[in-house]
Structure 1
Amino acid sequence: MKNVFRKGLGLFTIALLLLLTACSGVANTGTNSGSSKGNTMYIGLVNAPVSFNPINSSDIAASWLEKFMFDTFLEMTGPLEFTPKLADSFETEDNQTFTIKLNEKAEWSDGTPVTANDVAFTMNLVANPKTETAIGTYLTIIDGLNESGKFPDGVTEIPSLTIVDDKTIQFKTKTPVDPNMVKEQLGSKFMILPEHVLKDVAPEDLQKDPFMQKPTVTNGPFKFVQYAKDQYVEYEKNDNYYLGEVQLDKMFVKIMPAANLVAQLQTGEIQMNAAGGIGKIAVQDFDTVKGFENVTTKTEKTYGYQNMMFNTEKITDEKVRQAFAYAIDREKIVNQLLKGEGEIVDGPYTSVSPYLDKDLATYTYDPEKAKQLLEEAGWDFDKTIDFVVPIGNKVREQSADIIAQNLEAIGIKLNTTTYDFPTIMSKAKAGEFDLLLMGFTNTIDPDVTTVYGSNATSNYTNYSNPEVDKLLLAGKQEPDTEKRKEIYNELQAIWSKELPVFTLYSDYDFGAISKDVAVGGPKVFGFHNELYKWAMTGAE
């Protein structure tokens, strides 16, 4: 009788989700026949983008969406494994002078050749102090720029940047560095802008330029068509794509609550979910998805993680931050919400990272110790904490309930509010929170200056420690892998004590892909590799 009830409840839930999904998003005739969909693919995403500015996207969703239309020099297809893309080669002989040779056939979507001038234009834009950018830390290693990756006073171009010819550019770092760090950050994450389109836009006006909401000229396999806010992004094939003919005519990325992913996978309204935590299928729904006859599934460990950020200007005492950490039952989150399909993480490196210090002492669930630390810190138990939570990721939302219960159990008063992701980003940048939940997918390379560096673009905690800044710089400038591990072990120990960010868990990535897809699929590494080959079955 219980099994009958559960089955009936499951069917009712799916029916309800189908009704909800029918009322939102872009319409498509989803069936189990690939030929009926024509040559269009649909992907499900749970986070809406803030903009489409490749040099100023601090949210994962925007960067992920941009890579359909802007190619990086390289694609990272595995941990520190790189495949040529916009660049035929990205090499160094001395770990200090790097040479990028662009693909000879590379063109912008308007037919204009992609040249070394576009690379120099974009790098100089990022280095300009007037430009609003989220990737400035990628340039801090470059010779001639200051510790923030910006021009010193009186400088208007990167002095160590040399255009060798139309398709070749060189740059020099301040000291020899680990080439894998450069290849991951500048190679697989840095996207260039078209100089001939944007050269007359003042750097300080770039973020507000219409191009950043509707990129009209791009160099990737797909061209931007439109963004229906909070509903979908529509792309069409780039007929001028240099790596080969794009097989799909159109691509839609549909934005929806996580629960709707399940229903639309079943009906064929989407052919896959986005990877990397931004198309997360809730673990409690994944068993349901595994049972769908029209999809295949897979599970992958990831280097992304969920964390709780402290506004260190409001919660100033590290003892209080440590108390909050001891109060939170992360095992309950992993075992109950993730059903064991994840891992507890202390610090910015998951078990995928070769730089994780496995010998570092971790925070265990200990509410009595939490209370003791609060007493020692002289905590005002009448104080109310503003706890800010993003919507869209179902497990994260549910983890917020556990965290709230845990903190209230040690006497903390909370005011919990939830917002969509663009609002979360606005509040994070403005420091309008005491505690903030957010997910990060950084890099396999251990440099996390963007999160922990003083005044860094994703340092929403307002954390500042000169010793940390010094070690972060040393880590970036050290070419020897073993010596780098020593530096980052030291940093992990400092962060564990001072705790500007308390890492909660890393949930495994659940991928689902329709059997209507002939080529392509969600994956943690190399999702955007060879997008031009992606195809539907039965498409002509």
Structure 2
Amino acid sequence: MSKMKSVLKYGTIVFASSLFLSACGNGDVPDLDEDASSEEGAEESAESLPEVDAGDGSTLMVGLTNAPDSFNPFYRPGVAGTWIQRFFYDSLLVMPTADSFEPGLASFETEDNQVFTVNIDPDANWSDGEPVSADDVAFTLNTIADPQVETTLGTSVAMIEGTDSSGVREEGTEELAGVEVVDEKTLTITTKSPVDLAYLSEFLGFNVLIAPKHVFEDIEIVDIPNSQEATMPSVFSGAYQFVEYDNDNYVHLEANPDYFRGAPAIETVYARVMNGTSLITEFQAGNLHMTAGGGIGMVPVQDIGLLEDIEGLVVEEHPSFNGQYMVINNEKFDNLEVRQAFAYALNRELTVENLLGGRGEVLASTYSSASPYKDDSLEPLEYDPELAKEMLEEAGFDFDTPLEFVVPTGNAVREQNGNLIEQWFSEIGVTVNLNSYDFPTWLSMAQDLDYDIGLMGWGHTVDPNIASYIQTGGASNNMAVSDPVVDDLIEQGMAGTDFDERYPIYAELQQHMQDEMQIVPLYSDSQFSVQVDNLNGGIKEYWAGSLHDLHEWTLDTEE
């Protein structure tokens, strides 16, 4: 049996703004209207944190601007929660760069790109001493595919034999037909048909974090989200162990001394939650070592210069797949001309030049120029307010009823862009009621289709599969998009076995989405990594893979 090749042609990964369903100490989810990050609470939190000492290389302080949303390995709707979980739950494969995969908990072998043998590292153990086993992997995959589970990972297992197109286990079955345990450290995974190695490796090998069966197996599926095990995890396979989440203030992690890849050199990590302005202040005061980057440790682009002026701080700019979009309630606006008119009304070039200072690009589709799957021949619709107004008039648009426009708080550029969009709509005679909410509240409204238009960031894997956002019934399809052409192209794209076969399918998808304009692509902004120069490790250009060598990070100390 020949080993699967690990080198693949790809770009970078980025993520969307995170949903916030923070796990509190008692396992409850806080009221979404609660202002958990009050100044008083932040001061109390700061007092309980250790001070940063230049002579101490044992504690790492990380800045986040989005709070972790979940510690449940089966339900990871936001990037912040996923990023934190990677400290203590490992995946089968790691992605050191955007075009390579290496063994994590396991290695993969295949001869036909359909039957994959998964060999789990013989030294991989849970923090309670139990071995990480084939049963753990099978349990994790079967739980994600269970019809009753609350999960955001359906698309990550949708290629496995025995699932439907959404990754749900076929009706009337108790286990996935395509998952078979061979022995304690070996299992086979069979896909419905041969698949692209990149697709399987990223979606199943890297995106799925393996959960301990012996911890979760006795919990009813529907009870997992609120269980102690999912909100205050206590058994881990990763480099660090979860200690405490001070709600909306910090996550405290301690090194796992028995980590199978080697005990971490840095003993303690605090991931601190704060706004972008506070990030700058804390760096100036010497109280942070790095930001999390990737949209969850975000400094406003206008303020990057302030950090570049701080001695001993390294600031790097990287391209990203990150996308900001104007989502449209397709249930309310089922007229194609109306949706296209909305796009023509927006001066997206002005957004990139003025709000991003040119550090970004206007999007023609959901793929940025960093993606090898971007169709370079597809140009964004031009700014044409006269055409927009004409199209709305011809479509019989109701100019007397204001549009309910939602702009989430927390991203300064996005909030400013919301004000510009309000102005651009007014210039074509359309009134909007602009309302701002925290991201969790907005996401809840979006899921209920309680809006007309709104702003939202989407995260994209290196692989071009965007089924969760636009496929009928997709977990993050909050626009009521139900388009058989989209669904068919998504299915074709997932069935392709290599880049050359899949590229024309995704090019056709991009053209179709622009023709239908079910969502208006706005811009992709650069990502910045910020860290002290004595940190050996930290955020890489390929953001999502940055934690692959976490156990090797060190902080040089002053002599």
TM range (shorter): over 0.9
Tell me, yes or no, if the aligned pair for 2:57 and 2:556 is still in contact at 8 Å. Answer: no
2: CA distance, partners of 1:195 / 1:22 = 37
| Matched ranges for 1:7-22 at <5 A | none
- Cα 1:83/1:480, change in 2 over 3 Å: closer
In 2: Cα distance, 1:419 partner to 1:48 partner: 16
Question: Which of 490, 497, 500 matches 1:482?
Answer: 500
Please tell me whether residue 471 in structure 1 is matched to residue 489 in structure 2.
yes
Pick from 488, 492, 496 the counterpart of residue 514 of structure 2. 496
Deviates more, 1:37-46 or 1:151-160: 37-46
Return the match for 1:134 from 135, 152, 159. 152
How big is each residue's C-alpha offset from its partner over 1:307-340, in whole Å with a ceiling of 9 and x where there is no partner?
A: 1111111222221111111111111111111111
Q: Does 1:34 align with 2:59?
A: no
Q: Is structure 2 residue 549 aligned with structure 1 residue 527?
A: no
SS at match of 1:527: helix
Q: CA deviation at 1:254?
A: 1.0
Question: If the length of structure 2 is used for normalisation, what is the TM-score?
Answer: 0.89
**Residue 479 to residue 343, structure 1, CA distance change in 2 (3 Å):** same
- Tell me the residue number matched to 1:46: 65
SS state of the match for residue 88, structure 2?
coil
Equivalent position to 1:295, from 308, 313, 316: 313
> Structure 1: how far apart are the matches of 2:88 and 2:435?
35
1:410 aligns with 2:436: no
**Cα-to-partner distance string for 1:462-490 (whole Å, 9 max, x where unaligned):** 10111211111111011132121111111
* 2:155/2:203 contact within 8 Å kept: no
1:169 aligns with 2:187: yes
Q: Give structure 1 stretches of 5+ with no counterpart.
A: 1-18
What secondary structure does 1:474 align onto? helix
The CA distance in 2 between the partners of 1:80 and 1:424, in whole Å, is: 35
Give the letter aligned to residue 507 of structure 1. Answer: D
- Is 1:235 the equivalent of 2:246? no
Letter in 2 for 1:293: E
Out of 254, 258, 282, the position equivalent to 2:276 is: 258
**Aligned-residue RMSD, C-alpha:** 1.9
Task: Name 2:228's counterpart in structure 1.
Answer: 210
2:462 equivalent to 1:444: yes
Output the CA distance in 1 between the equivalents of 2:68 and 2:408.
13
Post-superposition offset of 1:431 = 2.0
Compute the displacement of 1:516 (Å). 3.8
Distance 1:237 1:191, change over 3 A: same
Matched-pair contact (CA < 8 Å) for 1:42–1:254: yes
Structure 2: which amino acid aligns with 1:195?
K
Which residue, 520, 523, 536 being the options, matches 1:505? 523
Residue 419 of structure 1 is matched in structure 2 by: 437
CA contact (8 A) 2:146 2:168 kept: yes
Distance 2:129 2:218 in 1: 20
SS of the residue aligned with 2:176?
coil
Q: Which runs of 5+ in 2 are unaligned?
A: 1-38
How far residue 147 of structure 1 moved from its aligned partner, in angstroms, is: 2.2
The residue number in structure 2 matching 1:276 is 294
TM-score for both structures, normalised by structure 1? 0.92
User: What is aligned with 2:122?
Assistant: 104
Q: Identify the residue that residue 435 of structure 1 maps to in structure 2.
A: 453
Give the superposition deviation at 1:153: 2.0
Query: What is the distance in 2 between the residues matched to 1:158 and 1:238?
Result: 32
1:455 aligns with 2:473: yes
Cα separation, 2, equivalents of 1:364 and 1:78: 35
Larger mean CA deviation between 426-435 and 336-345 belongs to: 426-435
Q: How far apart are the structure 1 equivalents of 2:41 and 2:226?
A: 33
Partner amino acid, structure 1, of 2:504 = E
2:394 is matched with 376
Q: Deviations over 1:204-230 (max 9, x none)?
A: 221222222211112111111111221
Are residues 1:325 and 2:325 paired?
no
Q: Distance in 2 between matches of 1:521 and 1:312?
A: 38
The count of residues paired between Structure 1 and Structure 2 equals 519
2:401 aligned partner, one-letter code: K
Alignment of 1:71-220 (within 5 A): 71-87=90-106, 89-220=107-238
Aligned with 1:26: secondary structure?
helix
* Residues 188 and 26 (structure 1), Cα distance of their counterparts in 2 relative to 1, 3 Å cut: farther
- Percent identical pairs in the alignment equals 39
- Which letter does structure 1 place at the counterpart of 2:174? T
4+ runs deviating over 6 angstroms: 19-22
Corresponding residue of 1:352: 370
Q: Deviations over 1:66-124 (max 9, x none)?
A: 1111111122222231122122x123221111122111111112121111101000100
Distance 1:23 1:230 in 2: 12
